[in-house]
Amino acid sequence: MKKSIIIQKIIAKAFKDLMQSNAYHQISVSDIMQTAKIRRQTFYNYFQNQEELLSWIFENDFTELINDNLDYYGWQNELLLLLRYLDENQIFYQKIFVIDKNFEHFFLIQWENLLDKVIFDQEKKSDYHWSDLEKSFICRYNAAAICAITKESIIRGNSLEKLYSQIVKLLLAQIKSFES
């Protein structure tokens, strides 16, 4: 049976909506499916359990936001879209950072993917050729810093979009220092 991405997204949205006002462990599959207005058994056609649903949400949301859009938007627009998405889903991610210790590693990898795009885009505009070591260093270094700052902002309930200009200035300054 082919899985419908639309049904998966409806289930994920229902779960996210419930997370706005409930603790993760208080939400049952029945609650999710009642909110989604889909029969309970349908959940198991798509997910084995809530942990698998949570993993699917991470993979799907970030793949759509970062990986699928990297070729269509410049990195600055991509960064802004990501920060806005995190702002819109802040309560959900506040809870996720607390309940899922693996999410932080996943979150870090997503920042590395975006920063790899930053270097790729900047390299096309410049005469400078980045070594693999330089690319790896600047991506990992900045991803760790941005991941920590955005996680802290999410947990504290601060707006992430306000970080946008600071992150862009920092990245452009670092890139320029390598290219000099």
pLDDT digits (tens, 9 = 90+) for 28-59: 999 999 999 999 999 999 999 999 999 999 88
In this prediction the pTM is 0.86
Checking if the pLDDT of 169 tops 70, the result is: yes
User: Can you tell me the distance from the alpha carbon of 175 to that of 180, in angstroms, rounded to the nearest whole number?
Assistant: 9
Average pLDDT value for residue range 141-151: 95
Confidence category of residue 1, pLDDT binned at 50, 70, 90: very low
- The pLDDT mean for the chain works out to 91
User: Can you tell me the distance from the alpha carbon of 148 to that of 156, in angstroms, rounded to the nearest whole number?
Assistant: 12
SS3 43: helix
Which residue type is seen at 48?
A: Q
CA 139 to chain centre: 16
Q: What percent of the chain has pLDDT over 90?
A: 67
Question: Between these two residues, 12 and 74, which has the higher pLDDT value?
Answer: 12
